[in-house]
Every structure is written in structure tokens, then in C-alpha cells.
Amino acid sequence: MTELQYSTVISTNDHMWNTGSQWYYDVGKSALNCVRSALATARGEPASFPDIPSAVRSSLATAHVEPTSILDLPSGHGRVCRMLRAAFPDAHLTVCDLDRDAVDFCAAEFNATPVYSQEDISSVSLDQSFDLIWCGSLFRIASNGQPFLGFSPTICRRMACSSSPPMDGSRSSGCEKDF
């Protein structure tokens, strides 16, 4: 596998960059690894389902599961968005955040559709559904994720989410929900 080629352009307003370049990029790559793991599970790759018959695993593993539409919510200034764009260059990418400067930066730098969020996420209007939704910190910010889970049926049929690791290094929680 070749090394992922991603944009290293950083907004001067990106407060996450203050943590240092190595950590900044590593967090973005970690998020992409979570996405790839979820896609591997969707394809039924052997590591995901070790107990199913090999013929079934082989058939599932050949299935092409690539997102064609991606939502990064909240996108910030693109720590994860840059990795998503590099990994899925042909996907339609939408970025959404309360920080309008961050949304504008990501839209311009990563060829994404900008959506300005609201404090009440249920008032945000998206004109499409998405194959992949990355929710890096939304569940830590929102009260138990409830505002987002009430909003999400309008934009996806099935959601697998993994929140980014907490800043204190403890384990993060994930969820999967059918709509």
C-alpha cells in the first residue's frame, strides 16, 4: 500500500494545530483507520467475522464498499477531512461545523460542500443522505449524542460511528444504529 498523500495546508485559525504537527496528522490518520475498519466490516473481511465460512468471507470481501458521499461533522479546520479527501478523492465531501471560518477553509482546501451548523443540530438542513458520516467529537460535545441521533435519520439509513479518542487518553465509545 502506498503512503497516503494528503494536504498539509493548515489554516492559521486552526487551534488544534497548536498540539503539534505529528499529533495533528496522527489523529487524522487514526480517524481514517476507524473509517477503513468500518468499511472492512461492511465488506465482511476475515478479521471482521472470523467465524463465518471462508467461501462467504471471500464473496463478501470482493464486494466494493466505497463511500461516494461523505459528511464530516463537525469538521473543524480539516484534521480528519484532509485524510478523507485523500483516501476517497472521488467522493462528494460535505463539511459542517459551527465555526464558519473552519467550514470555509475546508470547502476551499478540500473541495467540499460547506454547511454552516447551528447550536440546535436538528435545525441544520442537508439536501442529501450520505454513505459515510464521520462524527469526530460531536458525541462528546452533545448531550449523550441525543440531539444528533434525533437528526441523523434524515440523512442516513444506517450509521456506524466512532467518536474520536478523548483528550485524556481514555477509551472512546462507539455505536451503531439502524434507522
pLDDT tens column, 89-121 = 999 999 999 999 999 999 999 999 999 998 877
- CA dist 102 to 76, 82, 175, Å? 5, 13, 26
pLDDT at 153 over 70: no
Region 157-174: mean pLDDT is 41
Cell 464521520 belongs to which residue? 134
Q: Which residue has the higher pLDDT, 71 or 143?
A: 71
How far apart are alpha carbons 81 and 74 in whole angstroms?
10
The grid cell for 25 is: 496528522
Task: Note whether 117 and 94 are within 8 A (CB).
Answer: no
15-73 pLDDT, tens digit per residue, is 889 877 889 999 999 999 988 888 877 766 655 555 555 655 555 555 556 889 999 99
Closest CA to 133 of 173, 96, 90: 96
What residues have CB less than 8 Å from 111, skipping those under 6 apart?
A: 85, 93
Determine if the pTM surpasses 0.85: no
Strands 69-72 and 92-97: parallel
pLDDT at 1 over 70: no
pLDDT at residue 66 in the model = 81
Q: What percent of the chain has pLDDT over 70?
A: 63
The grid cell for 66 is: 466505497
Q: Which domains does the chain have, with CATH numbers?
A: 66-178 (3.40.50.150)
Neighbour tally for 87: CB within 10 Å: 19
